[in-house]
Structure 1
Amino acid sequence: MKICLYIYASVVTFFWITTRLVNCQAALRGQWDFVGYSGVSCMHCILSTNTNKAIFIERVELSTDVEKDGKPTYSVEYDLDTNEIRPLTTLSNTFCSAGSYLPNGTIVNLAGAEAGKGFSEGFNRIRLFNPCDDKTCDWQNDVYNLTENRWYPTVEMLADGTLFIIGGSSKGAGVNNATINVPSFEIYPSAPGAKPIPFQFLVDTLPNNLYPLVHLLTNGNLFILANQKAIVYDVTSQQIKINLPDVPRAARNYPLTGASVLLPLDSSNKSEVLVCGGGNKISSTQTVGEISCARISPMSSNPSWEIEEMPFGRLMPDPTILADGTVLILNGCYEGTAGFGKGKNPVLTPVLYNPKAQAGSRFTIMQPSYIPRMYHSVAMTMPSGQVLVTGSNPNRTPMFTGPYPTEFRVETFSPPYLFSSVPQPKIQQAPKNLKYGQSFEIEYVAYSGTRKITANFLNPGFVTHSIHMSQRLVWLDIIKLEDNKLSVMAPAGSTLAPPAPYLLHIVDNGIPSKAVWVSLSS
């Protein structure tokens, strides 16, 4: 009996020590967890507003085993609490599409690819989804059409809540070229009969200019980068306001896919853009992932690029803004190019970028995953503060064996802030609808005891192909801090935060709460 008790006590002690070591490691480098299966191989992802669900979208091919009304479908609603899927109805090919929210929370998915397997051509289609809690909502398919066929276009929400839709090609290709290039933009919703607006910049930046990198700056203009060229563009006057210096070292667009992020904003109205990774040349055997990140303030009097180096190079990165205002860079590979199975040597290790740290000390290496996330992967911050990671379908046709198979596994990455000895703060009550410049109260519970409480709005964006369309975090001005109430000011204007649904977080001494959805409007 004494021996048995001793063994039992030893096992319990070992388990306790091991658990403490794991938690300590997670507090430094985060933690990965496998949570479920996606049903479709997720190439496009957006959160469903006012619910705790995400919408996954795939392309028409032989990979799905999901059916709706007896027919295959390529989109599902994924429950972030239960990890269950609900099939949605798709009618056209959504491959290489784009998307965003409308101000009322409606999800817009637009463009796509060629017809096939009983599904219609999706190049110029617009699909709408109005989120619900009762499992009755579905895609309103092909309700409107774009003015041009677009494969690999980018969408960015403008200050008036309309969507800026730019670029793409008229059909799929390994590299864009003059015969299929679509050098124009359009606005949705727009007046009946509106024509596409020619955009010479997308002629000048051939061939590496698909999925242009676009961000709404706080003066209402757009930062646009394609290939290595960058501009500040005024949509209203249809004029280039600033020709920025070329981004150094490498092209940053498909198939040399890099990525960009608009760094967290506040009422100072300063805008900074970070561009990371990419490929150094077109070559199936010699292209390596670019190690540099380039940072610029496009609205400054003399904008220039500040170069930093990541711990390692990365092609096809996903820069995901976390709930505390840091940026997690994950997914992708070291070698090859995007598309057609040319990527290899996956980068399994995320890095955390702190935009407020001093240059030279902004990157921290996180815990690696064990699942390669190559071409057609996604990553997105969830209301819980975790990061949803899924997808990877780098092959011409679905493959279920080999080093980089078509992936249906869903993971979450929990950042270090979720492993603090201090629990997450809790939002107990907050308004659901807000106006610009409105002061409002958040009732909360915080546990750090430091009274260092901040709050932010986060739009996680529409994510596909390393592009996080309309992703945006805005820090809110604090008016008054009490023991259980935080008085804050909504953003003053729509150039700082376009009218849209946002995740509202409070942050207690660096530890974010679970978010609640709020709607911001004029």
Structure 2
Amino acid sequence: MKIWFYAYASVVTFFWVATKLVNCQAAITGQWDFVGHSGVSSMHAILSPNTNKIVFIERVELTTNVTINGKPTYSVEYNLDTNEIRALTTLSNTFCSAGSYMKNGTILNLGGAEAQKGFAEGFNRVRLYNPCDDGTCDWQNDVNNLNAKRWYPTVEQLADGSLFIIGGSTQGAAVNNATINVASYEIYPSAPGETSIPLQFLVDSLPNNLYPCVHLLPDGTLFIMANQKAIVYDVISRQIKTNLPDVPRAARNYPLTGASSILPLDSSNNAEILVCGGGNQISPSKTVGEFSCARISPTSSNPTWEIEEMPFGRTMPDMTILADGTILILNGCNNGTAGFNKGSDPVLTPVIYNPKAPAGSRFTKMQPSYIPLSGSNPNNKPNVDGPYPTEFRVETFSPPYLFTGVPPPKIQQAPKDLKYGQSFDINYVAYSGTRKMTVNLHQPAPAGGAIAPPGPYLLNILDNGIPAKAAWVMLS
């Protein structure tokens, strides 16, 4: 038995945790199910805390099927119980924005693109969404804007719950350059008089450095990667703590976009980072998706990249941690670069990466999807023609652990609020064959914010490799 704290990544494919009928093939490769329509082409998706809903965010274009009072809008709330949508207000152009949770559970979306279709520009806007379960919540503008215009920035939560906002450009572009590069970061909420802080790393990593990969490490420092360069950065001292070796083989950031994840921590708190996909640019239309994943322990005494080969090359993949601690890698294409209709040959087959398996046996192919676009739309207006029409279908992916024939454990009682280091009780029902057991556990919460920043989490039980339906908990 293990207990996991985890948060959902902004991926447009969702994961059921429910009892499934025994299905021999699905028990090996998982299962896709079409469940509904999104109304918007979902560029970003984030789970709304303490609800069973997802917030979708689209760019401002002619691609929406949703209106408010007759005016197009580009964000919706999707109900996972009913598969129905509720239109949300569009405040400014959210194209190429970024998002995060705040420590009080508020969803934050920031940055964006130029004014479009009667909507304000979003380059330095901050939008806030306070989750609700009664259909009344909506996007609101923060009274304060960002200190810099940011198209394609990255947001990562720090140990104290504040947000680290890094990079971007001052306008949209096929590739970044010195004229538009935003070589700085800022902290949100900012202290009075605080401005953007220059970071030479964002100059040295040009041109493929938009949406840099950033992960909070258990000692409170940040792993930052852009293009093929990587560092460990100390936000308190504003100094680079470690210059890591260059990432081998390929560029890993926009427009040669890869994906990254911090691997689940164990009691040793030895953080490892996994970076997969990307590309080496020959020309925008001839770039081949990178086959490799690169893995590193950035705070070790001798950090070195370990290279592993995926079954498929991928540009623009997505990665998310599943409830059993494995990593799902999905979406993306084999050829081309991000944006501007340059991607082709979509990769429909996801793979699961098991970080604890021996090297050479960590990847398992899953059941292919039939839908080639997830979280992307190459069209300026709805297009039903090929090769890649505007896509509003929503599908769920159920991992193999839901098809074992054994009912998942069921959490009966868990705390809604936790303090760091606090011990807590959790009660759940588990199944071993046909035998039903009630289990009571006494566990410690994470020791501090560098291990798990304050805010909303999904608390889960993993029993014999099978997860329960998670319970929401606020950690502070």
How far has the Cα of 1:71 moved from its partner?
1.7
The answer to whether 1:156 aligns with 2:149 is no
- Pick from 390, 396, 405 the counterpart of residue 406 of structure 1: 390
- Pick from 464, 473, 476 the counterpart of residue 518 of structure 1: 473
- What does residue range 328-367 of structure 1 map to in structure 2 within 5 Å? 328-367=328-367
The alignment of Structure 1 onto Structure 2 pairs a total of residues equal to 456
Helix, strand or coil at the partner of 1:232: strand
2:447 counterpart residue number: 492
1:401 & 1:142 partners in 2: Cα distance?
A: 39
More displaced 10-residue stretch of structure 1: 119-128 or 62-71: 62-71
1:260 & 1:94 partners in 2: Cα distance?
A: 22
CA contact (8 A) 2:421 2:446 kept: yes
2:121 & 2:151 partners in 1: Cα distance?
A: 11
Helix, strand or coil at the partner of 2:161: coil
The AA in structure 1 aligned to 2:211 is: Y
Helix, strand or coil at the partner of 2:26: helix
2:169 counterpart residue number: 169
Change in Cα spacing, 1:226 to 1:397, as seen in structure 2 (3 Å) is farther
2:341 & 2:278 partners in 1: Cα distance?
A: 16
1:243 counterpart residue number: 243
2:124 & 2:324 partners in 1: Cα distance?
A: 37
- What does residue range 451-470 of structure 1 map to in structure 2 within 5 Å? none
1:178 counterpart residue number: 178
How far has the Cα of 1:292 moved from its partner?
0.3
1:509 counterpart residue number: 464
How far has the Cα of 1:421 moved from its partner?
1.3
Helix, strand or coil at the partner of 2:475: strand
Change in Cα spacing, 1:210 to 1:126, as seen in structure 2 (3 Å) is same
Change in Cα spacing, 1:425 to 1:54, as seen in structure 2 (3 Å) is same
CA-to-partner distance for each residue in 1:55-86, whole Å, 9 max, x for gaps?
A: 00001110112112332111110001111000
The answer to whether 1:26 aligns with 2:10 is no
1:421 counterpart residue number: 405
How far has the Cα of 1:320 moved from its partner?
1.0
- What does residue range 97-112 of structure 1 map to in structure 2 within 5 Å? 97-112=97-112
How far has the Cα of 1:117 moved from its partner?
1.1
1:17 counterpart residue number: none
How far has the Cα of 1:279 moved from its partner?
0.8
The answer to whether 1:207 aligns with 2:207 is yes
- What does residue range 75-474 of structure 1 map to in structure 2 within 5 Å? 75-373=75-373, 377=374, 391-448=375-432
The AA in structure 1 aligned to 2:178 is: A
Cα RMSD for the two superposed structures = 1.6
The AA in structure 2 aligned to 1:190 is: S
Higher helix share: 1
Helix, strand or coil at the partner of 2:203: helix
1:394 & 1:116 partners in 2: Cα distance?
A: 17
CA contact (8 A) 1:340 1:395 kept: no
2:369 & 2:101 partners in 1: Cα distance?
A: 30
2:45 counterpart residue number: 45
How far has the Cα of 1:212 moved from its partner?
0.2
1:348 & 1:143 partners in 2: Cα distance?
A: 42
How far has the Cα of 1:489 moved from its partner?
1.0
How far has the Cα of 1:450 moved from its partner?
12
CA contact (8 A) 1:31 1:367 kept: yes
User: Normalising by the residue count of structure 2, what TM-score does the alignment of the two structures yield?
Assistant: 0.94
CA contact (8 A) 1:128 1:143 kept: no
CA contact (8 A) 2:21 2:405 kept: no
More displaced 10-residue stretch of structure 1: 22-31 or 441-450: 441-450
Helix, strand or coil at the partner of 2:143: strand
Percent of paired sites with the same residue: 78
How far has the Cα of 1:394 moved from its partner?
2.4
CA-to-partner distance for each residue in 1:338-379, whole Å, 9 max, x for gaps?
A: 111111011000000000111001000100011102xxx3xx
CA contact (8 A) 2:22 2:405 kept: no
The AA in structure 2 aligned to 1:99 is: G
1:313 & 1:258 partners in 2: Cα distance?
A: 10
CA-to-partner distance for each residue in 1:429-472, whole Å, 9 max, x for gaps?
A: 10000000111111100012699xxxxxxxxxxxxxxxxxxxxx
The AA in structure 2 aligned to 1:232 is: V
CA contact (8 A) 1:339 1:395 kept: no
The AA in structure 2 aligned to 1:340 is: F
CA-to-partner distance for each residue in 1:153-195, whole Å, 9 max, x for gaps?
A: 0000000000000000000000000110000000001112211
Helix, strand or coil at the partner of 1:90: coil
The AA in structure 1 aligned to 2:409 is: P
How far has the Cα of 1:280 moved from its partner?
1.5
1:220 & 1:64 partners in 2: Cα distance?
A: 41
2:3 counterpart residue number: none
The AA in structure 2 aligned to 1:393 is: N
How far has the Cα of 1:406 moved from its partner?
1.5
1:190 & 1:448 partners in 2: Cα distance?
A: 51
Change in Cα spacing, 1:301 to 1:168, as seen in structure 2 (3 Å) is same
1:261 & 1:136 partners in 2: Cα distance?
A: 34
User: Normalising by the residue count of structure 1, what TM-score does the alignment of the two structures yield?
Assistant: 0.85
1:309 & 1:344 partners in 2: Cα distance?
A: 21
How far has the Cα of 1:21 moved from its partner?
11
How far has the Cα of 1:22 moved from its partner?
7.9
1:21 & 1:265 partners in 2: Cα distance?
A: 32
1:49 & 1:282 partners in 2: Cα distance?
A: 43
More displaced 10-residue stretch of structure 1: 393-402 or 122-131: 393-402
Change in Cα spacing, 1:350 to 1:212, as seen in structure 2 (3 Å) is same
CA contact (8 A) 1:319 1:328 kept: yes
The AA in structure 2 aligned to 1:495 is: A
Question: Runs of 4 or more off by more than 3 Å in structure 1?
Answer: 395-398
The AA in structure 2 aligned to 1:415 is: P
The AA in structure 2 aligned to 1:395 is: N
How far has the Cα of 1:303 moved from its partner?
0.3
